[in-house]
Amino acid sequence: MNNYSLVLNITQAIPLKVDLLNTKKAALVLRAINHKLRQQMLKIIDEHEKITVTELYQKLLLEQSVASQHLAILRKAGLVKTTREGKFIYYSVNLNRVEEINKFVNDLLN
């Protein structure tokens, strides 16, 4: 028996069960945080505790649309949250989510 058929037999004995949908979702969250500009954005938001998109794009010398697109990715990943105060929307880091991601990454690597 060669190695290939041995692996095949093991695979047949223990069916592979991977939740592909949730794996894709998790990859999107990790990709959201694994981007230099978004990391800079998170750092600035954290330093200010809350910040508007206007303040953020001015600090980073970005176009408003670029900042908004990246904030949307961070928001979709749950890394930032928004609060409305009058006509302004403020962004803040979702510290609970960051803690969850750190725990997940540590568990994955250990």
The tens digit of pLDDT for each residue in 55-91 reads: 999 999 999 999 999 999 999 999 999 999 999 999 9
Q: Domain locations in the chain?
A: 18-109
Token pair of 76, please?
């979709």
Q: Residue 70 half-sphere exposure, CB side, CA atoms within 13 Å?
A: 20
pLDDT higher than 60, residue 109: yes
Separation between Cα atoms, residue 102 and residue 16, nearest integer Å: 26
pLDDT higher than 60, residue 8: no
97 CA to centre of own chain = 9
DSSP state of 39: H
Model's pTM, two decimal places? 0.81
Cross-strand pairs, 52: 90
Per-residue pLDDT at 17: 86
CATH number for the domain formed by residue range(s) 18-109 = 1.10.10.10
Backbone φ/ψ region at 27: left (φ over 0), alpha (ψ -120 to 50), beta = alpha
